[in-house]
Structure 1
């Protein structure tokens, strides 16, 4: 790690400088002294304003200055409601993945290099002005030779090298934080850094995004209300993505939808059904279903774009999610605790009694409430409050699910507040429960259990023989770990330190007395007073500190 730090010295320095300029907001915010600090209002380079910057704003601005990798990190963290409070989520959600466009010639060179032929040989027309310029790539409009309108995403030059450098630095910082900060160890920041690196690398690969789009197209092939853009593979590589252009009204533009005669209630139900199918039937869902990714075509069909961030849910996770909702409805806190723990929320020892108490308080809010009146987004947010309070951690796929669920309900409510996502969800839940208790599934589970039992029956004698052999050779050791022993260790360290300090103080007093009585070198009288004064002050300071620390500890 030392060699890595040296090789990235300039980038480390840049990060340190930016964090230092915005780090003041963190400590001042904790102490509640914002109004006394002029730097907190824009004196260190960011825009001046009379209202003090908050701690989340400082961190968001630092991410923006640090560039693409950290902007993506902030965007992904905005989805992790299990790690961040709503204030941080809302602020990080403001991170806009925008950048100044790269010169047209450079992007055209990349296109020609990737496609292996001149641009005019691939496209009949190509508009060199990008319609969007993000930190990772730029988006252009073009027309194929058969007249099909397409959009072309081109990855920026040098972005992979920059991202890889930042990812290595983040991994190093995560390792350092785990040694120095107990909370970082609890939340497994090393694992989070690795997870983020995997997510970001997948976004850099446009082939993966193209495959995601095709998988969605396959899942909705029989749904005439959903339009997934076609991918043109002959002009798609890891750095270039060419897909069908979708035109329509943004789902957030209510006046335009009304003018086009679109039934907003029907549209809201269709969007809710679309997302529910992704999660509870396909197990493959769009993890960023914000309004900008939905376009409503003139015939009312829903066009969906941007497939860089997706989530996966296996059958077991789908069933546990259904169990969570049923536990809320049936006021069963014990079942809710079981579902939480089985889903892997706990990364460390959890006080089950306290967790059950908080979840019981949560479900009691919905006692006797009709199903159609329960807001799924509110349930998810309250669950996330409990997750943060108990330092639990969502698996990455569930973090994306929670975020997508909350956004989906917001889009539906914006179109028509009378549409209940929870009511539309129940048929999926019932279907999952029927599948969970179906004879076919139980026969399959029994078959698997029989196979495992047979394997264990065959392997157990050999394993027992190995264990007994290790025990006879004295190689078998049992490791024990003291839980919650850190306060005891700290107290013992303080006790030991006091003993050592007491010995030093006593030795200092004794040696000072011996020197003053016995040792009288030449010119001793000239320096004796100074020597005695210094020794007396040191001994007195140590002694007073020992008395004060002992009385202060009340032990």
Structure 2
């Protein structure tokens, strides 16, 4: 949940607003898709790519500002979409991520009278009969619900061992809002599935369905309670992590009562220092805990933004663990299947050892690249990347000359875009969790170096998997022996193909360059013919209106051909 920034209550949309809400989301998406098509696809085709480049930053900022307004006005899942966009520091420009950061904390609360009515209807009694007290001012508000501090009745406090609790209640009418938002997002996902530039990289309808499943689970508080219990079990032996207890007798699908574990917000550096806790020491512990969730447990908190993580000081400063991380809000959780988890572990080990070849193998195992992809040049790009930027922290990267990043992007951008990347199932939440983890760590320590956490963790993974090393070596020896036995026959076939002239050597980079040159020539020829017909028509039209008009109309044909020549290569 997010901390409250406003005292005013936002209106609860009624059923009559759903149609207007649906149309407003679609109008926003359609307009910005059209603008993106015009600047990013159409203008470059007609030789006006510089205009697109020159206006890109301004357009991105304008889009983010307008989406910010839309999300705050509509609430619901639009806030969740904005929060996801703000966490995509890896692929989205800073104009977007910076503008949408505020959506983590900018959710207006619902009036307490509306919250009271829903809670009493769910629990079947008046709140003053169920709790000793409930604070009307919320301590946190989110797009789907909000939280109020409360105290249990004396008898319940004795039974549960808890006194101070947090009463979390859904926003009234949120079910209908979620249904409308998901319908609109499914429509937009369908539009994007027809854009080859997008469909080649991700199955948008599948991603929307994954987002839908997560959202529907998030508005089921009994599901969230079960998630918190499972998460607590995973870290039962780790005294660095704590989870609030659930008061099951005061919980339903729409109301959740939890132990009040409010402490220091993880990114509140001043409060941490006042409590004698060094923020720079919190960052690697937090990163390690998130690694455990994704690479070892396979069940992870997918929304680890600062509002959902506290640093709780210990009661005894003499202990070895003077503080712990307390996680809350388990509505958005992700699971990593065993096969994907194995690939991610390999990916982490390869990244820590700067192994470009191993990284390519791991990426293929995870399913980010289709098996038929030619990865030779991408492997070379990754090796170059590790050689120059590997091991640098966030602060060090900021000191690198931006022209170096630009040169690298220019050199390998075409290679990366040409490869058949895809976004596997469950990867949406993995990317979100890792992006937020990096952001929190860099906020805690500006000089935080992710490699300092990755390398020892990868070394531990490697030690854990040593039991399989003998099998791996034996398998490699077996493969090498088979290759050696088949080598004479393969050499003989190769010599035969050389002798009869049937040997073909493929150079993907050269083929792409030739293809681009061919498309450029086609467009140039079409433009020349278009210009000739248009000028001829305008000259002839003075004496022969009919013939001149025909020539000018016919000139549209080579114009269209020039605009769409080479479309299959995009």
- Structure-1 separation of matches of 2:454 and 2:553: 69
Among residues 529, 541, 544, which one is paired with 2:552 in the alignment? Answer: 541
- Structure-2 separation of matches of 1:356 and 1:417: 30
User: Is the aligned partner of 1:355 residue 2:365?
Assistant: no
- Structure-2 separation of matches of 1:77 and 1:336: 26
Q: For each residue in 1:74-132, what CA deviation from the matched residue of structure 2 results, as whole angstroms up to 9, or x when unmatched? A: 22233446663454334333324644433333221211111122212221111122223
Contact 1:435 1:441 in 2 (8 A): no
- Structure-1 separation of matches of 2:135 and 2:462: 52
- Counterparts of residues 2-151 of structure 1 (less than 5 Å): 10-15=20-25, 18=28, 54-80=62-88, 84-96=92-104, 98-146=106-154, 147=157, 148-151=163-166
Q: For each residue in 1:38-59, what CA deviation from the matched residue of structure 2 results, as whole angstroms up to 9, or x when unmatched? A: xx99xxxxxxxxxx95343334
Q: Which residue of the partner structure matches residue 349 of structure 2?
A: 326
Contact 2:139 2:148 in 1 (8 A): yes
Q: Which residue of the partner structure matches residue 451 of structure 2?
A: 422
Q: For each residue in 1:232-272, what CA deviation from the matched residue of structure 2 results, as whole angstroms up to 9, or x when unmatched? A: 11111111111111132223233332322335555444434
Contact 1:29 1:55 in 2 (8 A): no
- Structure-1 separation of matches of 2:20 and 2:297: 46
Structure 1 window deviating more from structure 2 (136-145 vs 259-268): it is: 259-268
In our comparison, the structure showing a higher alpha carbon Rg is 1
- Structure-2 separation of matches of 1:92 and 1:112: 35
- Structure-2 separation of matches of 1:281 and 1:541: 68
C-alpha change, 1:107 and 1:25, in structure 2 (3 Å) is: same
C-alpha change, 1:33 and 1:221, in structure 2 (3 Å) is: closer
Contact 1:83 1:388 in 2 (8 A): no
Q: Which residue of the partner structure matches residue 337 of structure 1?
A: 360
Q: What is the SS of the residue equivalent to 1:54?
A: helix
Aligned residues: 457
- TM-score, normalised to structure 2, is 0.66
Q: What is the SS of the residue equivalent to 1:142?
A: strand
C-alpha change, 1:541 and 1:73, in structure 2 (3 Å) is: same
Gaps of 5+ in 1: 1-6, 42-51, 447-483, 498-531
Query: What is the CA distance between 1:197 and its match in structure 2?
Result: 1.1
Q: Which residue of the partner structure matches residue 437 of structure 2?
A: 408
- TM-score, normalised to structure 1, is 0.68
Query: What is the CA distance between 1:190 and its match in structure 2?
Result: 1.4
- Structure-1 separation of matches of 2:223 and 2:559: 65
Q: Which residue of the partner structure matches residue 182 of structure 1?
A: 196
User: Is the aligned partner of 1:209 residue 2:224?
Assistant: yes
- Structure-1 separation of matches of 2:125 and 2:564: 78
Contact 2:298 2:336 in 1 (8 A): yes
C-alpha change, 1:366 and 1:35, in structure 2 (3 Å) is: closer
Contact 1:152 1:243 in 2 (8 A): yes
C-alpha change, 1:405 and 1:142, in structure 2 (3 Å) is: same
Query: What is the CA distance between 1:155 and its match in structure 2?
Result: 0.8
Q: Which residue of the partner structure matches residue 433 of structure 1?
A: 462
Contact 1:283 1:312 in 2 (8 A): yes
- Structure-2 separation of matches of 1:552 and 1:156: 50
Query: What is the CA distance between 1:338 and its match in structure 2?
Result: 1.6
RMSD: 4.9
C-alpha change, 1:21 and 1:553, in structure 2 (3 Å) is: closer
C-alpha change, 1:534 and 1:158, in structure 2 (3 Å) is: same
C-alpha change, 1:425 and 1:137, in structure 2 (3 Å) is: same
Q: What is the SS of the residue equivalent to 2:367?
A: coil
Q: Which residue of the partner structure matches residue 234 of structure 1?
A: 249
C-alpha change, 1:260 and 1:402, in structure 2 (3 Å) is: same
Among residues 253, 270, 291, which one is paired with 2:306 in the alignment? Answer: 291
Q: Which residue of the partner structure matches residue 538 of structure 2?
A: none
C-alpha change, 1:433 and 1:116, in structure 2 (3 Å) is: same
Q: What is the SS of the residue equivalent to 1:303?
A: strand
Q: Which residue of the partner structure matches residue 292 of structure 2?
A: 277
Query: What is the CA distance between 1:420 and its match in structure 2?
Result: 5.5
C-alpha change, 1:439 and 1:408, in structure 2 (3 Å) is: closer
Query: What is the CA distance between 1:278 and its match in structure 2?
Result: 2.1
Q: For each residue in 1:417-436, what CA deviation from the matched residue of structure 2 results, as whole angstroms up to 9, or x when unmatched? A: 67755344445423433444
Contact 2:182 2:212 in 1 (8 A): yes
Gaps of 5+ in 2: 1-16, 41-49, 158-162, 315-322, 398-404, 476-511, 527-542, 566-570
Q: Which residue of the partner structure matches residue 4 of structure 2?
A: none
Contact 2:193 2:199 in 1 (8 A): yes
Contact 1:80 1:399 in 2 (8 A): no
Q: What is the SS of the residue equivalent to 1:438?
A: helix
- Structure-2 separation of matches of 1:547 and 1:416: 58
- Structure-2 separation of matches of 1:79 and 1:133: 19
Q: What is the SS of the residue equivalent to 1:301?
A: strand
Q: For each residue in 1:3-60, what CA deviation from the matched residue of structure 2 results, as whole angstroms up to 9, or x when unmatched? A: xxxx975344433555688789868987859999xxx99xxxxxxxxxx953433343
Among residues 146, 150, 173, which one is paired with 1:158 in the alignment? Answer: 173
Q: Which residue of the partner structure matches residue 173 of structure 1?
A: 188
